[in-house]
Structure 1
Amino acid sequence: MNTRDPQAMAAAWISQFADPASMQSWVKSVPQTGANPLADILKEAGVGIDPEVLSKLESDYMRQCSKLWQDVMTSKVPAISDKRFSTAGWQSNVFYSFNAASYLLNARFLLALADAVEAPAKTKQKIRFAVQQMIDAMSPANFLATNPDAQQKIIDSKGESLTKGVTNMLADMHKGRISLTDETAFEVGKNVATTEGAVVFENAMFQLIQYKPLTTTVHQRPLLMVPPCINKFYILDLQPENSVVRYAIEQGHTVFLVSWRNPDESMRVATWDQYIEDGAIKAIQLAQEISGQEKISVFGFCVGGTIVSTALAVLAARGENPAASLTLLTTLLDFSDTGILDVFIDEMQVNMREQKLGSGGLMPGRDLASTFSSLRPNDLVWNYVQSNYLKGEEPPPFDLLYWNSDSTNLPGPMFCWYLRNTYLENSLKVPGKLTVAGEKVDLTKINAPTFIYGSREDHIVPWTAAFASMRILNPKKAGRNRFVLGASGHIAGVINPASKKKRNYWSNDQPVADADGWLASATEHAGSWWPEWSTFLAEHAGKQVKAPSKFGSATCKPIEAAPGRYVKVRAD
């Protein structure tokens, strides 16, 4: 069997469920023939499973297989709770419900085998990830021949859904990605990234946007926002009702924001040092100069938080301390626990990237997007395969998914430095181990009260890893750090407007050193965490002064209206 071809895998998988005898043959093939994909994975990894454990798993599996088969022979429809098979087409037909139940039983068995593997934790995690990817790809919901809803749609539409599905698939093949939303419904600067402002500076790395005040007075110290360079900045400024940028302006802050350039060939040799020196540090200096303030509020989101923290550490080594406060949202400074992304990071993979891109080149945005989609394949891949292609449906407009599809490239040298020194070797947290922009980096020297936010279901920055920054920043100044935990994931947890009063969050005013202890004694609150952040920000933003009446300064004159040119450049 070709384990790299999902269609071949699905066909072979379906054929195993004709009767219990073939199921038993399939089970026994795992340790013997390598015909099962898991056997290939285990053999390649050089690991195995304790024979007694394997025997018990096989026995349990065969018992459940026999029961399932008996139910089917008596026309008893198996009970299925998985949301992928929740419609009447799956639930009311014995053939389809048996198919789904068989798949779920098989999936549980494969995952149990993966969990039983005797291997180091990192190897075991990679095996489980590979098995989960295979399982998700083999779902009978993903194929027209085994999806009753898609088949019924063809009948009801007199074949139109099939024609439309093929059209959608061909269009996506041309784009090189699966459409997650109606991309024609949005335009950057027209109905996303619409907060009024002006670009007041640009260089080869970024544009600096200054936003127009919405209040007659503002806090004396401006707020500089540094978003991730892996995606476009407008995740922080989608639409007025869910814009972090607009919320900060409404709270009386003068907001500056870094709009990173989407790298092209002219940036193929750009380095991490340049992102720090010519990017974050330059933006800090510009915010100081334009506002006339020595101290400013500094904000970093995801990789933007890692970048701006590094920049502040470099400035600290130079005797400068520009941050009146620091906000870090879903940010890694300690890379001990990188969650599921760890499966992509090892010496071999990093070395491969360094050989290919370390001296120059671009890491394509679509490759990065594919990596992140693989972390949630049922939500970001197979769900749309089913709806767009099998059923011929158009994805509905959704601003967040439009942004998610607007990927960016990364310069090879910068990307390789980041992979090795943070994810692989976890050197950033070690005082003095790294030299950036000519200075020894020591994050403990950043002298600013810090607001740290993590999302409880974050699969990119586990909330416990975000919490680890509490031990790195202000280590000798108890009480200067504040941690808040929000519900949902990496993006949805952050973009949770206060006006919607949705979800919940946790806070804890007690000095608890470890993440689990912090959560155990934390207080849960209904609604958004944004007001908590607003209160923190206001405490350190200085007195109220008259709002600025114009953009920029004598040396930083407006170049163009926000959101600027850089954010409109697409990677594809």
Structure 2
Amino acid sequence: MIYDETQYQQLDRLVRASLAGLTLGISPTSAMLTYLDWLSSLQLSPGTQAHLVKKAMKKQLRLLSWVSHSAFDPNATPCIAPLPQDRRFRDPAWRYFPYNLLYQGFLLQQQWWHNATTGLRGLSPHHEQAVEFGARQWLDVFSPSNFLLTNPAVLQKTVESAGANLMQGLQHYCEDIQNHYLGKRSASAEMYVVGKNVAITPGKVIFRNHLIELIQYTPTTEEVHAMPILIVPAWIMKYYILDLSPHNSLVKYLVDHGHTVFIISWRNPTDEDRDIGMDDYRQQGILASLDVIETLFPSQKIHAVGYCLGGTLLAITASAMARNGANRLASMTLFAAQTDFREAGELMLFIDEKQLAFLEDLMWAQGILDTKQMSGVFQVLRSNDLIWSRVVNEYLLGTRQPINDLLAWNTDATRMPYRMHSEYLRTLFLNNDLAEGRLRVEGRPVALSDIQIPIFCVGTEWDHVAPWRSTYRLHLLADAPEITFLLTSGGHNAGIISPPEQSHRHYRIATAFEGDSYIDPDTWLERTAVKPGSWWGAWQSWLAARSGPLVEAPHVGSQPYPPLENAPGSYVRKA
């Protein structure tokens, strides 16, 4: 029997896809080449080796000196302080011998490995970041906080409860294993039911196609601003992160302040949708929604808002419309959305040609990127907060706090089609085609510099998905009449969900007008004053000033788009 090249290639793909299922989608070839690049660079650097040996000896002497003078004084200044975001050793019990010696030695070792994996001449920046990240992950596995006999807080709890905490932890572990294999959410997550206590802002589904349901929300004021708002969430998330409980729903906040709000609810794809691409999301998602809203509000422009991947797609769509002379948008707002991916953060550690080909083969075999595979990557990026703190609190201390609505939403993940995800990773993350003018829409390249409407861009201080310095690069790409950049406290999700009641929040905001000189992000950070509280009010005021006069509130579900069903619709409920 004669086999053609395609069949040989399919066999190769099947083998790699099978292997990817065992390695969580991480290419062993890519990992090995990264390690060998670092090791060979270190072997060819005898001066650096000597310097590292000297550093190791100095750290040992430093630790011994500290032990001899201060180890038995719990009020003594530590030899080395944890990083601000490291909460593992905050319990006062860590200040007593011998546990202070354990955690101080661990932190010094962590610092030494950072020195050993960074700054090597000739090591590619991508490999340097990957090796440093990998070393940090391995060290975190062996942190003294993760083990019964080396964690004083766990030992104290075990003695006080006569081991009941460990029995409770074992029960938690068994429950989690069972839920994992049965595909069930935790009991506390199940307390939040879409349409019952989350995603309950009143509205109607007025349009539906294969990819989206378009929801129009019911006004709560007699008069509304003339220009409507369209919100485009990322399709890697259920839309109701922006409509959680009534007290922290951004949708409700906008409606209560007199805005007519529409939002896209994306369908959760299956393996049958494997060939749906980014252009399908653009046409059947954003453009289809704009067509509906323009029919209902024929004399008004639309404020478009995009979150995360939805913001990136919105920027592409706005660029294509501007190139074609379409004057449909009043403004564009981007929440934690990247347009230039050269500084895309630690997610880039998983993106190189070999790694991407490996992941593509896995998705090719499955037809989709599964929710467990996607959530696994995000957990690794924040392993201390999402993995090891959970091990300590739930399995060693035996405590399990009920999760809030945001964490419950985070467990309600979605899938991504093979073609779309491959296009997204390759054209944007790997090749940075949008920022460098190579991304084509309808056969022609698009440029963000064509967008000539006001832009409001929100970054978050601790964003591990879209680092704020990456989102700030929009200043270099867009020639809009004004770009308002706002930096808020919090991370990729919690920073965006910032209701006015959260008084502990803060933000910075400044506007750059056309013709202003460029200010680099660090200088911007230094010059821009910190404002206390939520940023929602600042953005809503910005929108209101550009939304025209107040008019009579519209009736939801007018012809030719009568209501199909009540919000939140059916797509958001599909697992």
- The Cα offsets for residues 354-411 of structure 1, whole Å up to 9 and x where unpaired, read as 3343597100112111111211111111111111111211133222211222211100
- Indicate conservation of the 8 Å contact 2:34/2:127, yes or no: no
The answer to whether residue 362 in structure 2 is matched with residue 379 in structure 1 is no
Alpha-carbon distance in 1 for matches of 2:366, 2:207: 27
* Inter-CA distance 383–486: structure 2 relative to 1 (3 Å threshold): same
State the match for 2:505 in structure 1.
503
Counterpart among 10, 15, 35 of residue 41 in structure 1 = 35
> Which residue of 153, 157, 165 maps to 1:153?
157
1:302 corresponds to: 308
1:562 aligned residue (557, 567, 570): 567
Instruction: Indicate which of 121, 124, 135 corresponds to 2:125.
Output: 121
Partners of 1:111 and 1:180 lie apart in 2 by 37
Name the counterpart of 1:322. 328
Distance 1:70 1:526, change over 3 A: closer
2:351 aligned with 1:355, yes or no?
A: no
Q: Which amino acid aligns with 1:563?
A: P
Query: What stretches of structure 1 of length at least 5 have no aligned partner?
Result: 1-36
* Residues 430, 56 of structure 1: alpha-carbon distance in 2 compared, 3 angstrom cutoff: closer
* C-alpha distance after superposition, 1:224-281 (max 9, x if no partner): 0001111111111111221111111122111000011111223222111111111111
Offset at residue 66 of structure 1 (A): 4.1
- Amino acid aligned to 1:62: M
SS of 2:214's equivalent? strand
1:97 aligns with 2:91: no
Shift in alpha-carbon separation, 1:390–1:472, aligned structure 2, 3 A: same
AA at the equivalent of 1:349: Q
Instruction: Note if contact 2:34-2:131 (Cα within 8 Å) is conserved in structure 1.
Output: no
More deviation, 165-174/155-164: 155-164
Give secondary structure in 1 for the equivalent of 2:497: coil
C-alpha deviation, 1:457, in angstroms: 2.6
Tell me the CA shift for residue 304 of structure 1: 0.7
Letter in 2 for 1:468: R
Q: With structure 2 as the length reference, what TM-score do the two structures score?
A: 0.85
- Return the alpha-carbon distance in structure 1 between the equivalents of residues 262 and 246 of structure 2: 17
SS at match of 2:165: helix
Do the aligned residues in 2 keep the contact of 1:180 with 1:401 (CA within 8 Å)? no
Deviations 1:12-42 (A, max 9, x none): xxxxxxxxxxxxxxxxxxxxxxxxx999935
Shift in alpha-carbon separation, 1:45–1:81, aligned structure 2, 3 A: closer
Q: Is the 8 Å Cα contact of residues 244 and 406 (structure 2) preserved in structure 1?
A: yes
Q: 1:344 to 1:184 in 2, by over 3 A?
A: same
Cα distance 1:56–1:327, how it changes in 2: closer, same or farther (>3 A)? same
Change (3 A) 1:124 1:253: same
Q: Which residue of 2 aligns with 1:218?
A: 224
Say whether residues 1:391 and 2:397 are aligned partners: yes
Aligned position for 1:484: 486
- Report 1:149-188 matches (<5 A): 149-176=153-180, 182-188=188-194
Counterpart check, 1:59 vs 2:63: no
How many angstroms does 1:153 deviate by?
A: 2.3
Shift in alpha-carbon separation, 1:360–1:313, aligned structure 2, 3 A: farther
In 2, the alpha carbon distance for the partners of 1:245 and 1:205 equals 21
How many Å apart are 1:110 and its aligned residue? Answer: 1.3
Do the aligned partners of 2:38 and 2:131 also contact (CA within 8 Å) in 1? no
> Offset at 1:532?
1.9
Equivalent residue of 1:133, what SS? Answer: helix
- What's the secondary structure of 1:85's corresponding residue? coil
CA deviation map 1:85-138 (0-9, x unaligned):
23244322x233322222222211111211243312121111111111111111
Q: Contact between 1:182 and 1:394, CA under 8 Å: does it hold in 2?
A: no
Question: 1:140 touches 1:147 (CA, 8 Å); kept in 2?
Answer: yes
1:49-448 to structure 2, matched below 5 A, reads: 50-69=45-64, 76-77=71-72, 79=78, 81-82=81-82, 83-92=87-96, 94-118=97-121, 119-176=123-180, 182-357=188-363, 361-431=367-437, 433-448=438-453
User: Displacement of 1:179 after TM fit?
Assistant: 8.2
| 3-state SS of paired residue (1:184) | helix
Q: In structure 2, what is the Cα distance between the partners aligned to 1:220 and 1:521?
A: 35
SS at match of 1:523: coil
Of 454, 457, 473, which aligns to 2:459?
Answer: 454
Please state whether the residue corresponding to 1:109 is helix, strand or coil: helix
Whether the 8 Å contact between 2:220 and 2:258 is mirrored in structure 1 is yes
Using a 3 Å threshold, how does the CA distance of structure 1 residues 245 and 186 change in structure 2: closer, same or farther?
same
Query: Tell me, what secondary structure is at the counterpart of 1:210?
Result: strand
How many residues end up aligned between the 2 structures? 528
Q: Which amino acid aligns with 1:48?
A: L
Find the residue that maps to 1:333 and give its secondary structure. Answer: coil
Cα separation, partners in 2 of 1:63 and 1:309, compared to 1, 3 Å: closer
- Give structure 1 regions of 4+ aligned residues with deviation exceeding 4 angstroms: 37-40, 42-45, 69-75, 177-181
- Structure 2 residue matching 1:331: 3-state secondary structure: coil
**In 2 relative to 1, CA 39–290 (structure 1 residues): closer, same or farther, beyond 3 Å?**
closer
1:144 Cα deviation from its structure 2 partner = 2.4
How far apart are the structure 2 equivalents of 1:395 and 1:346? 39
- Return closer, same or farther for 1:465/1:568 CA change in 2, 3 Å cut-off: same
Residues 321-365 of structure 1 show CA distances to partners (whole Å, capped at 9, x for unaligned) of 210111111111111210111111111112223334359710011
Q: Distance in 1 between matches of 2:404 and 2:195?
A: 16
SS in 2 for 1:47: helix
Counterpart in the other structure of 1:25? none
Question: 2:71, 2:100 within 8 Å by CA — same for their partners in 1?
Answer: no
Counterpart contact for 1:179–1:395, Cα < 8 Å: no
- The change in CA–CA distance for 1:530 and 1:328 in structure 2 (over 3 A counts) is same
TM-score of the pair, normalised by structure 1: 0.86
Cα distance 1:435–1:43, how it changes in 2: closer, same or farther (>3 A)?
closer
- CA drift at 1:307: 1.1
Q: What amino acid maps onto 1:107 in structure 2? A: Q
The answer to whether the 8 A contact 1:508-1:521 is kept is no
CA pair 342-43 structure 1, distance change in 2 beyond 3 A? closer
CA contact (8 A) 1:300 1:306 kept: yes
User: Contact 1:194–1:239 at 8 Å: present in 2 too?
Assistant: yes
Partner SS, residue 198 of structure 1: strand
The worse-fitting range, judged by mean Cα deviation, of 381-390 and 112-121 is: 112-121
